[in-house]
Amino acid sequence: MTTALRSGLAVCSLLAVCLLSACTRNLKPSHATTPPENYTTRPEVTAFIERVAKQDHLNAAWITQTLAQAKHRDSIVAAITRPYESKPWYEYRAIFLTDTRIAGGVQFWNAHAATLARAEQTYHVPASLIVAIIGIESNYGRQHGGYRVLDALATLGFDYPPRGKFFQGELAQFLLMCHERNLQPAAVMGSYAGAMGAPQFMPDSYRQYAVDFDNDGKRDIWQDWSDIIGSVANFFHAHGWQPNGLIAIPAAWPKPTPPDNLLAPSTVGALRQQGVILSTGVSGDQDAILVGLQEQNNTDYWVGLHNFRVITQYNKSALYAMAATDLADRIAQARAQEDHHAPP
């Protein structure tokens, strides 16, 4: 299991560099003037309220009352235009692949070994990956974010046109989630993008993938470690994680210029036909993508396979997936070396 994770650690980076550089070139605060203090005075918000009330069977007056509490935050727009993932891999990895975070992962794994083993058995997702995801997302539950989710989703939904449609959709899901769980929307805290709890699920992910792993009648991704661990495992399982499957394999590009099809979905066989050199032990019909790992002085090429795509469903950034894969492997290695008698 660790070998599979380790083999994929490098796959994710250049994809992130390329994807995010493409996405962030035009990411600038879109509003020239300060938006009205009350979102509900804006016609596009009124249209949103009417649409969500109709399609999701929510009370329009309740939605209006809720959105009247939302506040525009310039800091949220500023944060989304400067994501960590815009950095090259050799800078990004220094943020997450630290001795402290690795040691924290070992400690977390030991503290929740039985639950992690049950999640791995139930969902067939490696415990090391579950731990790494929680470590990156919230530093093992220590950091849930300092923004009101209502403010984050309203600000990005109505004052950030590059991704307004997406965040309006998440705002609708958030309203549904609060209605279903009888939560006060203005009291829920999260990241600048509206991600919540220890696994930093967006509202739509919460509604689809959060599970009641301890059968106490609640799906609590904020304080219930059974539910948190089970929900992360369920997310990867639902997206088609292949147990013991490779994430990526090393490759070579013998020509002096980068290939034209970098990052384009393909198959192993098609990449070979275009000149990519890779292991002969991988069947040609497997889905694949040619990616690169940006180091300070060179680019290493890798071919990402199915599990690479699955990791990027959690966070579209391949740098993120790169860090998760590497951190998972390092935590597993450190745990094996430091505590041979720890529970599996």
* 280 and 196, same domain (yes or no): no
In CATH, what number is assigned to the domain containing residue 203?
1.10.8.350
pTM of the model: 0.85
In one-letter notation, the amino acid at residue 245 is G
Q: Which of 85, 120, 137, 170 is catalytic?
A: 137
Residue 6 has pLDDT above 80, yes or no: no
**Domain C-terminal end among 231, 264, 285:** 231
Alpha helices in the chain (DSSP H): 2-7, 13-24, 43-56, 60-67, 74-80, 89-96, 99-111, 113-123, 127-138, 149-159, 164-181, 203-209, 225-238, 268-273, 306-314, 318-338
Strands 277-278 and 248-252, sheet pairing = antiparallel
Average pLDDT across the chain, whole number: 87
Q: Total domain count for the chain?
A: 2
* 110 and 179, same domain (yes or no): no
* 114 and 158, same domain (yes or no): no
Distance between CA atoms of residues 317 and 306, nearest Å: 16
Q: In 3-state terms, what secondary structure has residue 114?
A: helix
How many other β-carbons are positioned within 10 Å of the β-carbon of residue 334?
16
* 221 and 314, same domain (yes or no): no
Distance between CA atoms of residues 167 and 277, nearest Å: 41
Question: With bands split at pLDDT 50, 70 and 90, how would you rate the model's confidence at 22?
Answer: very low
Domain enclosing residue 75, as ranges: 27-100+142-231
Distance between CA atoms of residues 175 and 181, nearest Å: 10
Strands 265-267 and 189-190, sheet pairing = unpaired
Convert the pLDDT of each residue in 147-201 to its tens digit: 999 999 999 999 999 999 999 999 999 999 999 999 999 999 999 999 999 999 9
* 38 and 49, same domain (yes or no): yes
Residue 105 has pLDDT above 90, yes or no: yes
235-257 mean pLDDT: 91
**Domain C-terminal end among 185, 215, 231:** 231
Q: Mean pLDDT check: name the lowest of 27-41, 242-256, 319-333.
A: 27-41
Output Rg (C-alpha) for the chain, integer angstroms: 21
Residue percentage of the chain with pLDDT more than 70: 88
120 is catalytic: no
In CATH, what number is assigned to the domain containing residue 136?
1.10.530.10
